[in-house]
């Protein structure tokens, strides 16, 4: 049995991960800002077999409550084995271009709030000399593109932060998994055309996350073929890339 915090559990991907962990009998500490959905998900996870389920309503941008969140998780579960950070927003890129305040708020949600939570987790796990930190970043963080570079910048910041954190924590027995999904059919992408082989379901990505955490993978592209796609995209020379409309 393991004890996990899931931040942003109302996300379609995170809820699907939580179901798998509930069926394994884990203790779960669920964090999200929508209290009604949080209560519904908690009820469902209890029925599915979670050893215990505790909820904690928090907006991820309430940085001043992050420590309180960990304290409550420790109190309710007795020990924390891992944290999955899943919350995020897909910004309106045009709005970010015209207003720095919009861009800043998106970077806070997708970047800084994640770094704040991981900083607390890292220090706790380093003391414990064990723990797993798993974070949903994105392929969008691998290269800046005109269509979503503010989101990409926040996710890229998270990916680089996690890379350094993994490097720091390896000697303490703490593992850090960076999860980079491609296109996933969730409420976040509701306005997209979803045909074609590049789209994955939330359940597919969730089972990839669970497998990656089990195997203590460092960086995982989900589905796997995004590793090839992003390798190609990353290597397109800048003089060609700037003429492309990606
Ligand atoms: N879908 C994709 O194609 C895709 C691709 C790559 C990476 N990702 C990443 O995957 C993760 C999960 O997203 P998803 O696809 O499962 O989308 P989703 O179902 O729309 O979930 C996004 C979640 O983030 C939560 N959230 C947003 N801002 C928050 C805040 N300030 N405080 C607390 N919670 C907040 C939302 O809560 P509310 O319900 O309260 O709004 C929602 O539960 C995100 O980090 C996303 O960036 C998604």
The Cβ-side half-sphere exposure at 61, using a 13 Å CA radius, reads: 9
C-beta 174 within 6 A of ligand 1: no
Q: What is the pLDDT of residues 88-134, one digit of tens each?
A: 999 999 999 999 999 999 999 999 999 999 999 999 999 999 999 99
| Angstrom distance (rounded) from CA 37 to CA 162 | 29
pLDDT in tens, 197-223: 999 999 999 999 999 999 999 999 999
The b-or-e profile of 124-135 (16+ CB within 10 A means b, else e) is: bbbeeeebbbbb
CA separation (Å) from 174 to 56, 79, 82, 133, 157? Answer: 24, 15, 9, 8, 20
pLDDT in tens, 28-72: 999 999 999 999 999 999 999 999 999 999 999 999 999 999 999
Residue 246 pLDDT > 90, yes or no?
A: no
- Ligand 1 atom closest to 37 (CA): 39
With 90 as the cut, is the pLDDT of residue 23 above it?
yes
Distance of CA 83 to the CA centre of its chain: 10
pLDDT of residue 195: 84
11: Cβ below 6 Å to ligand 1? yes
Give the pLDDT confidence score for residue 76 in this predicted structure: 97
Q: Dig out the tokens for 152 from the structure.
A: 């990409």
Distance 146 CA to ligand 1 centre (A): 21
Q: Is 181 in the pocket of ligand 1 (CB under 6 A)?
A: yes
pLDDT band at 245 (very low <50, low <70, confident <90, very high): confident
Q: How far is the CA of 205 from the centre of ligand 1 (A)?
A: 13
Summary mean pLDDT of the chain: 97
Q: What is the three-class DSSP state of 169?
A: helix
SS (H, E, C) 204-243: HHHHHHHHHHHCCCCEEEECCCHHHHHHHHHHCCHHHHCC
Q: What is the pLDDT of residue 1?
A: 84
Percent of the chain with pLDDT over 90: 98
Find the DSSP H helices in 91-198: 93-98, 100-107, 113-128, 149-169
Taking alpha carbons only, the member of 87, 79, 75 closest to residue 4 is 79
The response to whether residue 10 sits with its C-beta less than 6 Å from ligand 1 reads yes
pLDDT > 90? residue 224: yes
pTM, to two decimals: 0.98
Cα 209 from chain centre:
10
Q: Is the CB of 13 under 6 A from ligand 1?
A: yes
Ordered by where they begin, the domains of the chain are 3-241 (3.40.50.720)
Contact residues for 189 (Cβ-Cβ < 8 A; gap 6+): 90, 183
Residue nearest to atom 26 of ligand 1 (CA): 87
What angle separates helix 202-214 from helix 12-23, to the nearest 10 degrees? 50
């Amino acid at each position: 049995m393991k004890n996990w915090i899931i931040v942003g559990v109302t996300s379609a991907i995170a809820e699907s991960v939580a179901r798998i962990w509930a069926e394994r009998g884990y203790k779960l500490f669920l964090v999200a800002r929508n209290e009604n959905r949080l209560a519904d998900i908690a009820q469902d996870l209890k029925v599915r077999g979670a050893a215990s389920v505790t909820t904690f309503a928090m907006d991820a941008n309430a940085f001043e409550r992050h420590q309180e969140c960990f304290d409550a998780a420790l109190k309710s579960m007795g020990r924390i084995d891992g944290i999955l950070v899943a919350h995020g927003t897909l910004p309106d890129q045009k709005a970010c271009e015209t207003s720095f305040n919009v861009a800043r708020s998106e970077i806070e949600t997708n970047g800084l709030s994640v770094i704040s939570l991981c900083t607390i987790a890292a220090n706790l796990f380093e003391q414990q000399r064990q723990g797993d930190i798993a974070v949903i970043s994105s392929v969008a963080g691998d290269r800046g593109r005109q269509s979503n570079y503010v989101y990409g910048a926040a996710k890229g910041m998270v990916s680089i932060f996690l890379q350094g954190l993994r490097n720091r924590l390896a000697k303490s027995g703490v593992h850090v998994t960076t999860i980079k999904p491609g296109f996933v059919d969730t409420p976040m992408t509701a306005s997209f055309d979803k045909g074609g082989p590049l789209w994955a379901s939330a359940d597919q990505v969730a089972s990839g996350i669970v497998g990656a955490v089990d195997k203590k993978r460092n960086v995982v592209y989900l589905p796997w073929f995004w590793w090839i796609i992003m390798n190609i995209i990353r290597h397109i020379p800048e003089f060609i890339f700037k003429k492309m409309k990606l």
